[in-house]
Amino acid sequence: QVQLVESGGGLVQTGDSLRISCVVSGGTFSSFTMAWYRQAPGEELKFDEREFVAAINGDSRSRFYGESVKTRFQISRDNANNIVTLQMNNLKVEDTAVYYCAGRRTTFSTWETSPHLYEYWGQGTQVTVSS
C-alpha cells in the first residue's frame, strides 16, 4: 500500500520562504511521477478544484510548474529516501492553501495537470501566508 505523508507547512509572512516535504512509503518511488497540488481556503473541498502546482518525473530530468508559481517554487526529489520537496520562495498571500502531495506510477509523455491522473494522495499540509 502506497502512503504519502506531507510535512513542513506553517504560518509565514509575505516574502518568506518555506519548504514542504512528502515522504512516500510502499511502491517503487523512483518510478513514480510526483506532484504538488493546492486548495485554497473558503472553497468547497472539490477534488476537481485542486490547483496544480508542480510535478517531477522519476529521474528528476523533467519538471513542470503551474504558471502562478513557476518563477518562485522548485520541486525536487530524493529517491534514496523516498522524499519529494517543494521549495517555496517569495511567498504571497494568495499562496495560502492546503498543499497536497500526489503520485502516479507512470510517466507523462506530455505533462498534464488534472488531479484525476494521480493515483495516490496525502492528507495535505496547511500553508498560511500573512501580509
Q: pLDDT tens digits, residue range 84-104?
A: 999 999 999 999 999 999 999
Please give the Cα distance from 107 to 117 (Å, whole number): 11
**DSSP assigned state of 90:** S
Please give the Cα distance from 15 to 10 (Å, whole number): 14
Q: What is the pLDDT of residues 22-57, one digit of tens each?
A: 999 998 999 999 999 999 877 667 888 899 999 999
pLDDT of residue 44: 66
Please say if the pLDDT value at position 62 is more than 70: yes
Residue in 78, 101, 96 with CA at minimum distance from that of residue 3: 101
Place of cell 529521474: 59
Question: 61: Cβ–Cβ under 8 A, 6 or more apart, which residues?
Answer: none
Asked if residue 64 lies in contact with residue 111, where contact means CB atoms within 8 angstroms, the answer is: yes
Helix/strand/coil (H, E, C) string of 11-44?
A: EEECCCCEEEEEEEECCCHHHCEEEEEEECCCCC
Residue in 38, 105, 43, 49 with CA at minimum distance from that of residue 75: 38
Strand-pairing partners, residue 86, are 20, 75
Percentage of residues of the chain with pLDDT beyond 90:
89
Please give the Cα distance from 10 to 126 (Å, whole number): 6
Higher pLDDT, 47 or 3: 3
